[in-house]
Structure 1
């Protein structure tokens, strides 16, 4: 998620001329990059085709939970790659380019802090093993809360998927003669193919491979960019403008908090995280995988912060969104490594898109088709409906990104909407027994309205909407729950059976 414009200059803070890229011939560099990209795309297609075989995916549980037999390295890789997409490779790098490496701590810290919270809840999340987050909410609050949450989730995940199409198209346009719009078509097709074929199995294994590629490239790029292109860490640090060397990056405390909270809240209630932890063999394995996710997240966020700010020193006039990508595309890295870095960045975006597409389709299957409409489905029919839902959401996401950019901007509010609306009620399932149906329902609706209205007003006084809507959500949840408590003792065990579960499923 790229940081919004807050009036601070983005590319005019230093006057140092751009660094001198490597002397690799441009035509040769582009040919190598295209070759690496094509090979990567073919590999992703091969993974999708392999796990699309009927013996790999024969039931709805295989499609959603990958048979609950993923090896731990794959579990860690899929957690990492699912979360680290264009929001980090493009948005995080843009923030570092705009405000410096130290301020990036606040933007990127939402990931490890959120993972630390999930680590404490991982065993209980695995115990519940729900198909969707709205299903978890129904177990505690009832069907009305589930339906509202399902609508919010589908809208948010469709918008996030569309953003991955757009970001992936930008990367392809850097590597090939294709335009960003044409590149978005390629990404949309591959994302949909991975999700519709093998479900979580194909997505998880492609996630694992993508994580290996991007982590290796980011770590290898650090000494080359900071050491070779900039003359060492000391020279890099001295060439940064004064405010880039401060912890705030020139931003106020409220602005920094406004950047931290959306990602933090999103990961706490992210359906992708819950589904992957539900795919672990048991609670202990879910916890260990979350620990690995926590450690591996620094292997991405720290290099992105350093490389993004280094790109500002080398190329002070570029678009902030392209900070890390331009290091590869403009020849600051060896040709092969640059191609791998671009392919790895595209890999993360594709796998993130596949995950959100697959997860959003799960809401259509389990929350809408099965729960709301009451359609009875055996495994074969449920698998078919899930795949059709993937195709439908993929098509809508592409239309949003291609033909209705202003609608897509509205969809981007869903980062905050999803976090402030769903995170407090979801966490209350684990942490506060007195949270009630009416408290959760009122908090979800009111925080959603406040977020959209605040964004439409243009963030008055420069205050990020999350700083307004999160207090509204928390206060409403607590106050209404105390005034209108549920009858009886609320259930807090995640393994509790939902009274309304479909007995034939």
Structure 2
């Protein structure tokens, strides 16, 4: 137990709780709109920071580090290629999303395809996002177990409480600002750790990083198809991620949305490089450790000074906490607008009622996420499942609705059903150990969408713009 590590973590938690309490005041968060979209008030730097912290969480600092540790630097960097490519596309979509997006992705489905697709989309999103929330609890539990005498399970419980509090308190306002602070902290901690681990600890042996695992081939023993199976889930998730669309919609202006998206892609590049480098460096310095701990274990005093190690752990913890709170928050938006709001259409809840329904939904989703953790052997396995479940079912339907005028409700429903079923079957039968389910589920979902849409197209074809809300 390192006193410096504990001190840094406690300071971080105090700051996060204070920010959450500040934005949780009735003056700051008084309506459902404030809770879900921060009153559409986010400036570009905060927007970019919250997008970055939302997407780069436990799946990166633990899952991707595991991958780089196992397969080497080239594969480790390619693992993030889907994130970089997807974020670049979001830059070009940012202004349009800010002008026309609503509260949720299923809300867009309703305008383009109808109620049935909205409900199906909501169920699918909740299944995928509960999985993403679940591995944030696991990742944060790892870190707490490294810093304190608590075990991983107890640490996960403590992390779940903090993550849930941030989502419950000030909604997107508190989440966005804590995301921004967390992004700055982790980028600083990662690069300083690279300096000590690579520049000081490895020194003249730093060249081993580029040579690690190359004896197994350029991708560390993976085939090109297997590598694609690891890179593709992040790409399809990012393109359709409801969190990204909500945050762009929360920008204070279309210009701020564009600038925030640019900050996001620049921040992503700055953050993912040290994660990959440190993951591989750990494989050289610590062969045989648990791969999930590749980056986190470098906080040990043998590799980094106490304060820097504490900053690395607290920064990683920060990313995980803010990612978890973001996914809890976006799930609550689905419950409020796509489930309760549709059931009570004749007598819609008031804005104040929506605020409290959203908070109750956060608690329910957090509980379900904690239960799901026990069904997957590692963060990386749960990450691939959750990304694929969303990317193979929601993203094709979303982009077809935006850009293909012949897409139909029947085609959308078939794509979601086929994508979800293929993902589940591939995971349950163990085939994902050899080839990730996205390589099967995504093509099947797209084929189903196109084929059924062409068979059911009749009468007047809706324009893609019908999916969009009026400009604000």
TM-score where L is the length of structure 1: 0.89
Q: Aligned-pair distance for 1:233?
A: 6.5
Supply the distance in 2 between the matched residues of 1:362 and 1:147 (Cα, whole angstroms): 13
Q: Quick check: 2:230–2:384 contact (8 Å CA) kept in 1?
A: no
Pick from 199, 222, 242 the counterpart of residue 251 of structure 1: 222
> What does residue 252 of structure 2 align with?
281
Q: Aligned-pair distance for 1:497?
A: 4.9
Supply the distance in 2 between the matched residues of 1:342 and 1:461 (Cα, whole angstroms): 30
Supply the distance in 1 between the matched residues of 2:383 and 2:187 (Cα, whole angstroms): 29
Pick from 377, 380, 400 the counterpart of residue 428 of structure 1: 400
> What does residue 263 of structure 1 align with?
234
Q: Quick check: 1:129–1:279 contact (8 Å CA) kept in 2?
A: no
> What does residue 151 of structure 2 align with?
179
Q: Aligned-pair distance for 1:61?
A: 1.0
Supply the distance in 2 between the matched residues of 1:272 and 1:149 (Cα, whole angstroms): 15
Supply the distance in 2 between the matched residues of 1:351 and 1:488 (Cα, whole angstroms): 45
Determine helix, strand or coil for the equivalent of 2:73: coil
1:211 and 2:205 correspond = no
1:376 and 2:359 correspond = no
Supply the distance in 1 between the matched residues of 2:300 and 2:332 (Cα, whole angstroms): 35
User: Greater CA deviation, 86-95 or 370-379?
Assistant: 370-379
Supply the distance in 2 between the matched residues of 1:342 and 1:429 (Cα, whole angstroms): 42
Supply the distance in 2 between the matched residues of 1:219 and 1:367 (Cα, whole angstroms): 42
Supply the distance in 2 between the matched residues of 1:450 and 1:376 (Cα, whole angstroms): 36
Q: Quick check: 2:384–2:436 contact (8 Å CA) kept in 1?
A: no
> What does residue 422 of structure 2 align with?
450
1:360 and 2:327 correspond = no
Supply the distance in 2 between the matched residues of 1:346 and 1:369 (Cα, whole angstroms): 33
Q: Quick check: 2:402–2:467 contact (8 Å CA) kept in 1?
A: no
Q: Aligned-pair distance for 1:411?
A: 8.9
Q: Aligned-pair distance for 1:447?
A: 1.4
Q: Quick check: 2:40–2:252 contact (8 Å CA) kept in 1?
A: yes
1:325 and 2:301 correspond = no
* Structure 1 residues 344 and 497: CA distance shift in structure 2, 3 A: closer
Q: Aligned-pair distance for 1:320?
A: 0.6
> What does residue 483 of structure 1 align with?
455
C-alpha RMSD over aligned residues: 2.1
Supply the distance in 1 between the matched residues of 2:378 and 2:188 (Cα, whole angstroms): 36
> What does residue 44 of structure 1 align with?
16
Determine helix, strand or coil for the equivalent of 1:138: helix
Q: Aligned-pair distance for 1:352?
A: 0.2
> What does residue 53 of structure 2 align with?
81
Report the number of matched residues. 468
User: Greater CA deviation, 199-208 or 124-133?
Assistant: 124-133
Determine helix, strand or coil for the equivalent of 2:457: coil
Supply the distance in 2 between the matched residues of 1:137 and 1:243 (Cα, whole angstroms): 48
* Structure 1 residues 386 and 237: CA distance shift in structure 2, 3 A: closer
Pick from 57, 61, 66 the counterpart of residue 33 of structure 2: 61
Cα-to-partner distance string for 1:168-209 (whole Å, 9 max, x where unaligned): 011000111111111111111111110011000000000000
1:309 and 2:280 correspond = yes
Cα-to-partner distance string for 1:409-468 (whole Å, 9 max, x where unaligned): 779623211110011111112221211111111111011111111222211792221111
Alignment of 1:47-126 (within 5 A): 47-126=19-98
Q: Aligned-pair distance for 1:264?
A: 0.7
Cα-to-partner distance string for 1:274-304 (whole Å, 9 max, x where unaligned): 1000001222221221111111101111100
Supply the distance in 2 between the matched residues of 1:186 and 1:460 (Cα, whole angstroms): 31
Alignment of 1:156-235 (within 5 A): 156-232=128-204, 234-235=206-207
Q: Aligned-pair distance for 1:372?
A: 3.5
Supply the distance in 2 between the matched residues of 1:239 and 1:484 (Cα, whole angstroms): 54
Identify, as 1 or 2, the structure richer in helix: 2
1:391 and 2:363 correspond = yes
Unaligned runs of 5+ in 1: 1-26, 499-505
* Structure 1 residues 96 and 406: CA distance shift in structure 2, 3 A: closer
* Structure 1 residues 166 and 124: CA distance shift in structure 2, 3 A: same
TM-score where L is the length of structure 2: 0.95
> What does residue 5 of structure 2 align with?
33
Q: Quick check: 1:72–1:285 contact (8 Å CA) kept in 2?
A: yes
The runs of at least 4 aligned residues of structure 1 exceeding 6 Å deviation read: 406-412
* Structure 1 residues 142 and 203: CA distance shift in structure 2, 3 A: same
Supply the distance in 2 between the matched residues of 1:301 and 1:397 (Cα, whole angstroms): 26
Q: Quick check: 1:219–1:303 contact (8 Å CA) kept in 2?
A: yes
* Structure 1 residues 181 and 160: CA distance shift in structure 2, 3 A: same
Supply the distance in 1 between the matched residues of 2:39 and 2:70 (Cα, whole angstroms): 43
Determine helix, strand or coil for the equivalent of 1:103: helix
Supply the distance in 1 between the matched residues of 2:378 and 2:192 (Cα, whole angstroms): 39
